[in-house]
Amino acid sequence: MLRKLLDYQMSLCEKNKFLAKIRPAFSALDNFMYEAPVNTKTGPHIRDAVDLKRWMILVVVAMIPAIIVAIWNTGLQSFVYSSGDYRLMDEYLACLGSFEDYFAFAGKDNRWMTILKEGSLIFFPIVLVSYAFGGLTEVIFAIFRGHEVAEGFLVTGMLVPLVMPPTIPLWMVAVGVVIGVILSKELFGGTGMNIVNPALSIRALLFFGYPTRTSGEVWVGRDASVVRNSLLKMNNESGRPLIDGYTQASKLNQFNVSPDIKQIHVDTIASNNLGSDVRNYDLIQQYFTKWKETGGEGTLGQLTADQLKGFVTTPLAEGGLGLSAGNYFDAYHFSALQNGIGETNGDWLFLLGNKVGSIGETSGIACLLGGLMIAYFGLSSWRTMIAFLIGAFGCASLFEWGSQFLTADGGAWTAAQYGFPAYKMLILGGLAFGLVYMATDPVSSPDRSGSMW
């Protein structure tokens, strides 16, 4: 039945001159459901069941782990952060310590249904807009060039939603997809001719074109203003101090601090939780002794919030550590992130994807499963992914080790970012997602074994 319907619409193109000009628009559905109606005219005459479309669909299959986590995590964050109920937020934060508590939280009062609904309402509209406008762009260029619609956008159309913030307006997605596809792919000749990854180009275009909608407080819920007001309400009603208040800042936002924040500052803040297990503890003790001689009070490792802030922000000449008061808030949260302090800063949470960020980038484990599928299906070489991993981890390790062993006082006075644990670079942001789904792009990545390294 479907075959007859498709054959009928193709026959219309042969009878009508106007329809013949837009034949690629009619053949696109035929291409998707079956195969491109093209016979090879020159050698080699090779026929294979796995054509470009089937190959691209396998890449989409490899994205399924990331898609599942994207829908769940995006819905969960939206459900909690948009509620305006600090009790629900506290219950959520308390459940992060174990799988049993986590699933109990999601199962209570059938919350999982609301979570999946929220995630679906965020994710699938972006998918539809991405495919609709990207597909339309591909069809228009195919008509003008007089060739069949290529299947390359099957992958790009799904990658785009996964690299977007959940609050991105749909019209921005449409604009970004259309312009990005034209500039990054069609200008170079279409599928297989592009020299850059189209999905990355679209993300970069939106980042530089609309920076306020692709960075900052845009990582939770369907409407950034609703989440902002919800958090304000929760913080006011909970009575939490400002520095420990609820926030929708991503972990990369918390990592991106001023170079004026030194390692000794974040170590000192962490010592209130970790005691002498922090770096540079002996040096901190020396400064603390001087600070007490000039009027400071308390016991290192057991300071009140005001005492800790006073010690860290008192000028060096007066025995303190010389951090400006304006940077203390950022230093406090950077310290928690670096040392895994607090309910939301555990490494397992980062790996599982229980954090805010772009829709599909949050789960390192989901990306790992996708990478294994890509390697198993032979969609790309494992060498590309391993080389990417070694390069990223090696570079981060050089900064970490260099800040500790190649500078004075064990790196106490180097910028805190340089001493950040290298392994955390792999699980905080979108590096794992880029490693698996972007670096392995068959068109813009190397195809020779040696060049993959």
> Each residue's pLDDT tens digit in the chain (453 positions)?
656 665 555 665 666 665 555 656 556 555 555 565 555 555 555 555 555 556 778 888 899 999 999 999 999 999 999 999 999 999 999 998 888 999 999 999 999 999 999 999 999 999 999 999 988 888 788 777 766 666 667 888 899 999 999 999 999 999 999 999 888 887 877 776 777 888 889 999 999 999 888 887 888 988 888 999 999 999 999 888 888 888 888 888 889 899 999 999 999 999 999 988 888 899 999 999 889 888 888 888 898 999 999 999 999 888 889 999 999 999 999 999 999 998 888 888 888 888 888 999 889 899 999 999 988 888 777 888 888 899 999 999 999 999 888 888 888 899 999 999 999 988 888 888 988 888 887 776 777 777 666
262 three-state secondary structure: strand
Q: Are 227 and 220 in contact (CB under 8 A)?
A: yes
Q: What pLDDT was estimated at residue 353?
A: 85
Q: Whole-angstrom Cα distance, residue 329 to residue 408?
A: 26
Q: What pLDDT was estimated at residue 294?
A: 85
For residues 200 and 282, membership in a common domain is answered with no
Q: Whole-angstrom Cα distance, residue 198 to residue 180?
A: 7
For residues 300 and 226, membership in a common domain is answered with no
For residues 127 and 274, membership in a common domain is answered with no
Q: Is residue 369 part of a domain?
A: no
Report how many domains make up the chain: 2
166 three-state secondary structure: coil
Residue 389 CB-density burial (10 A; 0-12 exposed, 13-18 middle, 19+ buried): middle
For residues 269 and 148, membership in a common domain is answered with no
For residues 235 and 341, membership in a common domain is answered with no
For residues 211 and 317, membership in a common domain is answered with no
Q: Are 196 and 184 in contact (CB under 8 A)?
A: yes
Give the residue ranges of DSSP H helices in 146-169.
153-162
The single-letter DSSP state of residue 150 is: P
Q: Are 102 and 88 in contact (CB under 8 A)?
A: no
Q: What pLDDT was estimated at residue 168?
A: 94
Q: Is residue 85 part of a domain?
A: yes
Q: Is residue 407 part of a domain?
A: yes
Q: What pLDDT was estimated at residue 10?
A: 60
Q: What pLDDT was estimated at residue 240?
A: 85
Q: Domain ends where: 188, 214, 239?
A: 239
What residues have CB less than 8 Å from 435, skipping those under 6 apart? 367, 371, 385, 388, 389, 392
For residues 127 and 203, membership in a common domain is answered with yes
For residues 183 and 266, membership in a common domain is answered with no
For residues 214 and 295, membership in a common domain is answered with no
Q: What pLDDT was estimated at residue 189?
A: 75
Token pair for 117 = 């609904």
Q: What pLDDT was estimated at residue 188?
A: 77
Kindly list the distances between the CA atom of residue 225 and the CA atoms of 101, 217, 220, 228, 231, in Å, as whole numbers in the listed order: 30, 9, 10, 5, 10
192 three-state secondary structure: coil
Token pair for 152 = 């390359």
For residues 327 and 436, membership in a common domain is answered with yes
Q: Is residue 28 part of a domain?
A: no
Q: Is residue 250 part of a domain?
A: no
The CA-based dihedral angle spanning residues 271, 275, 277, 281, taken in that order and rounded to the nearest 10 degrees: 60
Residue 339's nearest CA partner among 403, 277, 414 is 277
Q: Are 46 and 92 in contact (CB under 8 A)?
A: no
The range of the structural domain enclosing residue 69 comes to 50-239
Kindly list the distances between the CA atom of residue 388 and the CA atoms of 217, 367, 373, 419, 433, in Å, as whole numbers in the listed order: 29, 14, 17, 21, 11
Q: Whole-angstrom Cα distance, residue 433 to residue 209?
A: 23
For residue 32, the one-letter residue type is F
Q: What pLDDT was estimated at residue 230?
A: 92
Token pair for 442 = 């068959």
Q: Is residue 113 part of a domain?
A: yes
Q: Whole-angstrom Cα distance, residue 134 to residue 5?
A: 25
Q: Is residue 9 part of a domain?
A: no
Q: Is residue 183 part of a domain?
A: yes
User: Up-side HSE of residue 129: CA atoms within 13 Å toward CB?
Assistant: 21
Q: Domain ends where: 178, 207, 239?
A: 239
Phi, psi for 415 (deg, rounded to 5): -60, 135
Q: What pLDDT was estimated at residue 239?
A: 85
415 three-state secondary structure: strand
For residues 287 and 199, membership in a common domain is answered with no
For residues 199 and 268, membership in a common domain is answered with no
Phi, psi for 343 (deg, rounded to 5): -65, -30
Token pair for 108 = 């209570």
